[in-house]
Amino acid sequence: MLFNSPEYFLAFLPLVVVCYFLLNSMGQVQAGRLGLVFASLFFYGYWNPVYLILIVGSMLVNFGISMLIHRLKQRPGPLLLNARALLVLGLVLNLGLLGYYKYSDFFIENINLAFDMQIPTLNLLLPLAISFFTFQQIAYLVDCYKSDVYEYDFISYCLFVSFFPQLVAGPIVHHKEMMPQFSDRHNTSVDIDNIARGILIFCIGLFKKVVVADTFAIWANAGFDTREPLSTFDAWVTSLSYTFQLYYDFSGYTDMAIGAALLFNIRLPINFNSPYKALNIQDFWRRWHMTLSRWLRDYLYIPLGGNRCGTGRMYFNLMTTFVLGGLWHGAGWTFIVWGAMHGSALVVHRLWEKGGRKMAALPAWALTFLFANFTWVFFRADTMEAATRILKSMVGFSNQAFVGSVEPFVQVNQVLGNAQPAAGGLLSALNPAVVFIAVFGLIAFLSRNSMEIASERTRFSIVDAVRVSGSLLLTLLLGIASSSTVFLYFNF
């Protein structure tokens, strides 16, 4: 069930909200939580019911380990049964589960290539959201070991892991920033302000996905999927289309997640803060997928030593963090290269700052955005060869003319009809691809983001809620008219 599908926003989400607050109004708060857990598991199992066993089993094991860790922290046991050993066991089990499903075939293929072997691949289907709920539970176990959190109620723990607005692709949340909100009595009743604000944010996200991201996908897919050489102009349109597709797709999903959670009076952490406005690569990672950046910092970079072990070790820790962060996104060398490039850029940025150098805002922004655009090519390409082909065309090392063929890349009526064009030239300056890049690029660069728009009013009234609902209906028409396409981060 997709956030941008009519069955989600016309049936599932409204029904769950009504039932949740109806149970709360009857004084059945625990039943309301249990209902949310079952609704979340239904949402997850809607994709493939078989994987319900996986997520439920993962929650049972992690909850059991966390309880044992808590008890042993209070009263240490035998040498071989201590809290640290249990934490290590939990980490091994979680990473082992993730590694088995996500990386088995990758490692088998590379072993076969390196040693000329013929080990058969497992051809496992990647379970939905396994990367996200694994990281979330790893964070919980570490925090439990540090005595930062403890959850004694299994239903509440299941709700923390499986809460459907953020289950599939984040934001990655901490127990201590979400579960106290469910325990707050003021959050058990309907809040018109949160309803209106949530609908507004959801509408913005839905528009980003069905109108903007899915249109950019036409040109991005056409360029990346073709095996024919692209002209320089076509290659830039391809890369920029994916750069904006990814931003509007993933930030749109996050907006819908935050908006849906607000309907339940739950405030999820902000995950995007206009990353394409960043003036350096460090600023970019403080704005892009912020909860993942926070997780990598707190549970990988700092435990490796952070910047406490000397300059050389700090640079090694940065590189290791981002290479593993790239590998988290996907089992492929393109993701590893993408992570290594960002790690290298952060090292260069640290050296630049250490030297006391300064760069004016405009060239600093342009350099940061162009670097992100170039590296997204590796993120999107299926193979290193495909990435190299696109990049060579972008810098002019192709046999194609700069402008390309006379036929436009795609006609306006094809865009509106969601057609799948073949890669071709982009002669016209008024071509839809160019117009889309210009318009929505400027919006990403200059306008307020969805969180700023939603927070500009201190309080929403019932009248405001009705107006926002009207905007939702218009956005729903767009959503219904379009095909419900999968979000990009569902692949990671």
Radius of gyration of the chain (CA): 24
* pTM score, whole prediction: 0.88
pLDDT at residue 431 in the model: 76
pLDDT band of 1, cuts 50, 70, 90: confident
pLDDT at residue 427 in the model: 40
Report how far residue 364's alpha carbon sits from residue 124's, in angstroms, rounded to the nearest whole number: 43
pLDDT band of 178, cuts 50, 70, 90: very high
Contact between 141 and 90 under an 8 Å Cβ cutoff? The reply is yes
Asked if residue 485 has pLDDT above 50, the reply is yes
Q: Is 329 a catalytic residue?
A: yes
pLDDT at residue 465 in the model: 59
Residue in 174, 289, 329, 342 annotated catalytic: 329
Q: What is the mean pLDDT of residues 374-378?
A: 97
pLDDT at residue 243 in the model: 97
Report how far residue 379's alpha carbon sits from residue 460's, in angstroms, rounded to the nearest whole number: 40
Contact between 168 and 129 under an 8 Å Cβ cutoff? The reply is yes
Burial classification of residue 240, based on how many CB atoms lie within 10 Å of its CB (0-12 exposed, 13-18 middle, 19 or more buried): buried
pLDDT tens digit string along 406-449? 343 443 334 333 334 444 444 444 578 888 999 999 999 998 88
Contact between 344 and 319 under an 8 Å Cβ cutoff? The reply is yes
Report how far residue 128's alpha carbon sits from residue 486's, in angstroms, rounded to the nearest whole number: 12
Asked if residue 219 has pLDDT above 60, the reply is yes
Burial classification of residue 481, based on how many CB atoms lie within 10 Å of its CB (0-12 exposed, 13-18 middle, 19 or more buried): exposed
Six token digits for residue 449: 């983001």
Contact between 232 and 261 under an 8 Å Cβ cutoff? The reply is no
For 189-198, 295-304, 421-430, 441-450, which range has the lowest pLDDT when averaged over its residues? 421-430
* Spatial CA neighbour of 384 closest among 342, 335, 339: 335
pLDDT band of 245, cuts 50, 70, 90: very high
Report how far residue 120's alpha carbon sits from residue 109's, in angstroms, rounded to the nearest whole number: 9
Look at 437 and 396; give whichever has higher pLDDT: 437
Contact between 400 and 232 under an 8 Å Cβ cutoff? The reply is yes
- Please provide the distance, in angstroms rounded to a whole number, between the alpha carbons at the two ends of the chain: 17
pLDDT band of 124, cuts 50, 70, 90: confident
Report how far residue 157's alpha carbon sits from residue 154's, in angstroms, rounded to the nearest whole number: 5
Asked if residue 174 has pLDDT above 70, the reply is yes
Asked if residue 477 has pLDDT above 90, the reply is no
